[in-house]
Amino acid sequence: QSALTQPRSVSGSPGQSVTISCTGTSSDVGGYNFVSWSQQHPGKAPKVMIYDVSKRPSGVPDRFSGSKSGNTASLTISGLQAEDEADYYCSSYAGSYTWVFGGGTKLTVL
Protein backbone atom coordinates (compact mmCIF):
# COMPACT_ATOMS: atom_id res chain seq x y z
CA GLN A 1 0.00 0.00 0.00
CA SER A 2 1.50 3.36 -1.08
CA ALA A 3 1.13 6.47 0.98
CA LEU A 4 -1.12 9.29 -0.13
CA THR A 5 0.64 12.50 -1.18
CA GLN A 6 0.27 15.62 0.95
CA PRO A 7 2.26 18.86 0.93
CA ARG A 8 4.88 18.88 3.67
CA SER A 9 3.76 22.24 5.00
CA VAL A 10 1.25 25.03 4.56
CA SER A 11 0.82 28.31 6.36
CA GLY A 12 -1.66 31.11 6.81
CA SER A 13 -2.40 34.12 8.95
CA PRO A 14 -5.16 34.21 11.55
CA GLY A 15 -8.52 34.67 9.90
CA GLN A 16 -7.35 33.41 6.53
CA SER A 17 -8.23 30.13 4.83
CA VAL A 18 -5.88 27.32 3.92
CA THR A 19 -6.40 24.16 1.89
CA ILE A 20 -4.45 20.93 2.25
CA SER A 21 -4.51 18.45 -0.61
CA CYS A 22 -4.28 14.68 -0.47
CA THR A 23 -3.60 12.84 -3.71
CA GLY A 24 -4.04 9.13 -4.15
CA THR A 25 -5.18 6.83 -6.91
CA SER A 26 -8.37 5.30 -8.24
CA SER A 27 -7.70 2.40 -5.86
CA ASP A 28 -8.05 4.50 -2.74
CA VAL A 29 -9.12 8.17 -2.68
CA GLY A 30 -10.73 8.06 -6.11
CA GLY A 31 -12.42 4.74 -5.57
CA TYR A 32 -14.17 5.27 -2.27
CA ASN A 33 -15.86 8.07 -0.34
CA PHE A 34 -14.08 6.97 2.80
CA VAL A 35 -11.52 9.73 3.23
CA SER A 36 -10.87 11.14 6.67
CA TRP A 37 -8.68 13.92 8.03
CA SER A 38 -7.05 13.82 11.46
CA GLN A 39 -5.43 16.63 13.41
CA GLN A 40 -2.43 15.92 15.62
CA HIS A 41 -0.87 18.40 18.04
CA PRO A 42 2.72 17.67 19.15
CA GLY A 43 2.90 14.77 21.55
CA LYS A 44 -0.84 14.15 21.35
CA ALA A 45 -3.04 11.50 19.81
CA PRO A 46 -4.69 12.27 16.47
CA LYS A 47 -8.27 13.55 16.43
CA VAL A 48 -10.63 13.00 13.52
CA MET A 49 -11.84 16.29 12.05
CA ILE A 50 -13.49 15.05 8.84
CA TYR A 51 -14.77 11.62 7.78
CA ASP A 52 -16.53 10.26 4.69
CA VAL A 53 -14.84 13.04 2.65
CA SER A 54 -16.90 15.92 4.02
CA LYS A 55 -18.68 15.00 7.26
CA ARG A 56 -17.76 16.57 10.58
CA PRO A 57 -17.89 14.64 13.86
CA SER A 58 -19.86 16.24 16.65
CA GLY A 59 -17.91 19.06 18.26
CA VAL A 60 -15.67 19.88 15.29
CA PRO A 61 -16.05 23.54 14.25
CA ASP A 62 -17.68 24.19 10.89
CA ARG A 63 -14.51 26.09 9.94
CA PHE A 64 -13.24 22.66 8.90
CA SER A 65 -14.57 21.29 5.62
CA GLY A 66 -13.62 18.52 3.25
CA SER A 67 -14.12 17.74 -0.40
CA LYS A 68 -12.92 15.40 -3.13
CA SER A 69 -12.38 15.60 -6.86
CA GLY A 70 -11.17 12.54 -8.68
CA ASN A 71 -8.15 11.10 -6.90
CA THR A 72 -7.55 14.20 -4.78
CA ALA A 73 -9.21 15.05 -1.48
CA SER A 74 -8.90 18.42 0.21
CA LEU A 75 -9.24 19.83 3.71
CA THR A 76 -10.07 23.51 4.00
CA ILE A 77 -9.76 25.43 7.24
CA SER A 78 -11.36 28.85 7.18
CA GLY A 79 -11.00 31.62 9.75
CA LEU A 80 -7.64 30.24 10.89
CA GLN A 81 -7.00 30.29 14.61
CA ALA A 82 -3.78 29.81 16.54
CA GLU A 83 -5.00 26.48 17.94
CA ASP A 84 -5.33 25.10 14.41
CA GLU A 85 -1.54 24.90 14.19
CA ALA A 86 -0.87 21.15 14.06
CA ASP A 87 -0.06 18.26 11.76
CA TYR A 88 -2.87 17.04 9.52
CA TYR A 89 -3.11 13.56 8.07
CA CYS A 90 -5.47 12.28 5.41
CA SER A 91 -6.42 8.63 5.22
CA SER A 92 -8.46 6.55 2.83
CA TYR A 93 -9.91 3.09 2.62
CA ALA A 94 -7.96 1.27 -0.09
CA GLY A 95 -10.10 -1.82 -0.56
CA SER A 96 -9.71 -5.40 0.66
CA TYR A 97 -9.71 -4.27 4.28
CA THR A 98 -6.66 -2.05 3.98
CA TRP A 99 -6.19 1.61 4.76
CA VAL A 100 -3.58 4.14 3.68
CA PHE A 101 -2.40 7.43 5.16
CA GLY A 102 -0.82 10.54 3.73
CA GLY A 103 2.60 11.63 4.89
CA GLY A 104 1.18 14.52 6.90
CA THR A 105 1.10 18.30 6.48
CA LYS A 106 2.40 20.74 9.06
CA LEU A 107 0.11 23.77 9.33
CA THR A 108 1.74 26.92 10.64
CA VAL A 109 -0.41 29.86 11.74
CA LEU A 110 1.72 32.93 11.14
User: Which residues of this chain interact with another protein, rule CB under 8 A?
Assistant: 1, 3, 32, 34-36, 38, 44-48, 51-52, 57, 89, 91, 93, 96-104
b vs e for 11-43, b when ≥16 Cβ sit within 10 Å of the residue's Cβ? ebeeeeebebbbbbbebbbbebebbbbbbeeee
Q: Which is nearer to another protein, 16 or 98 (CB)?
A: 98
| Nearest distance from C-beta of residue 46 to another protein, angstroms | 5
Q: Which is nearer to another protein, 44 or 81 (CB)?
A: 44
In this structure, are residues 49 and 31 in contact, taking their beta carbons and an 8 Å threshold?
A: no
What phi, psi does 99 have (nearest 5°)? Answer: -130, 150
| Nearest distance from C-beta of residue 93 to another protein, angstroms | 4
| Nearest distance from C-beta of residue 18 to another protein, angstroms | 19
| Nearest distance from C-beta of residue 85 to another protein, angstroms | 17
Neighbours of 106 (CB within 10 A): 15
Q: Which is nearer to another protein, 51 or 64 (CB)?
A: 51
Among 43, 109, 107, which Cα is nearest to 75's?
Answer: 107
